[in-house]
Structure 1
Amino acid sequence: MGENVIRLTEELVQPVLEDMNLELVDVEFKKEGKNWFLRVFVDKEDGVDIEECGYVSEQLSEKLDDVDPIEFPYFLEVASPGAERPLKNKQALQKHVGRRVHVKLYEPIDGDKEYEGDLKSFDNDVAEIEFRIKTKTKTVEIPYDKIAKARLAVSFN
């Protein structure tokens, strides 16, 4: 059911986002405590403001009410993904070459399942990440199919 709700939400919100020149970053549908939350994360080059999120929420809420895919009470939230936004697909990785990223892998590469560093390139479905260990700079090449999760990372340098 959760995947169907996510897929339908993506379909319903896309026309609204296209009209506003916004990008769909992620959709989550999950239970926290006693409550269910449907969260839609949107963004654009210079960030989104609360009015834009409010407008998307109103438009999406109307569409969800018409289709009524969720048979129980839930909270709809539309927000910015924040500084550590998820990178959910190849296009997102390509778009963020040159930025600091954090990736978790399905299986270890060179003995590690997590890497954080600068995304130097994303070519032929391989992410090249430059990272530091103490005073040494190293590079790792990670095939896209080995990436379980990727997100932008905040750097405090």
Structure 2
Amino acid sequence: MAKAKPNTAQVAASLAEPLLEQMGLRLWDIRFEKEGGVWFLRFFIDKEGGVDINDCERFSRAIDPVLDAADPIEQSYCLEVSSPGVERELTRPWHFEENLGRKVNARLIRAKNGIREFSGILESYEDGVAVIRDEENDMTLSVAKSEAAYVRLQDDFDYSKGEDQ
């Protein structure tokens, strides 16, 4: 059986990995997607303590000539580099494993036991199945990654407190 040809995002990720490592960054996610009539190559980068606009700009300037030289994308596209955000989507097994014990929000593609959206503590992740404990409703749900529209970290920052408090 022939090995599947890597898709555009996989090729771009492999070009980016050495740069990211050199810069002390890591690739959280990458997407090559079309919105309207425009294609976007989106890198979501992260590092310990989080990234800022300078990290995004630095990586964008570094990856742009690498992509131009390799020319892995046939059509024109817009390059975007950003943080995955505080409510980042968990898409890869290591995302789930790294965030065990944290609060998450999940939305199912189809309701399960009458529930489509819920929040709780990510208790475990194994073989593509996340176990989320909803303490408020005293229940635990097992959700296969294939059943979820998304699983995202929940922003638990207390916005009622000022910076000085």
TM-score by length of 1: 0.81
C-alpha deviation, 1:132, in angstroms = 5.0
Helix, strand or coil at the partner of 1:119: strand
- Name the amino acid aligned to 2:54: E
Larger displacement relative to structure 2 (12-21 or 25-34)? 25-34
| Structure-2 change in CA distance of 1:124 and 1:72 (3 Å) | closer
- Name the amino acid aligned to 1:139: T
C-alpha deviation, 1:10, in angstroms = 0.8
Structure that is richer in strand per residue: 1
C-alpha deviation, 1:39, in angstroms = 0.8
Match of 2:119 among 89, 104, 116: 116
Helix, strand or coil at the partner of 1:14: helix
Larger displacement relative to structure 2 (11-20 or 124-133)? 124-133
Name the residue aligned to 1:74: 77
Name the residue aligned to 1:153: 154
Name the residue aligned to 2:13: 10
Number of corresponding residues: 153
Larger displacement relative to structure 2 (33-42 or 80-89)? 33-42
| Residue 75 of structure 2 corresponds to residue 59 of structure 1 | no
| Residue 28 of structure 2 corresponds to residue 25 of structure 1 | yes
Distance 1:110 1:74 in 2: 42
Helix, strand or coil at the partner of 2:72: coil
TM-score by length of 2: 0.78
Please report the RMSD computed on the Cα atoms of aligned residues, expressed in angstroms: 2.4
What 5-or-longer segments of structure 1 have no aligned partner? none
What 5-or-longer segments of structure 2 have no aligned partner? 1-5, 159-165
- Kept after mapping to 2: 8 A contact 1:37/1:75: yes
C-alpha deviation, 1:49, in angstroms = 1.5
Helix, strand or coil at the partner of 1:91: helix
C-alpha deviation, 1:108, in angstroms = 4.3
Match of 1:89 among 77, 82, 92: 92
Helix, strand or coil at the partner of 1:128: strand
Distance 2:157 2:84 in 1: 19
Name the residue aligned to 1:45: 48
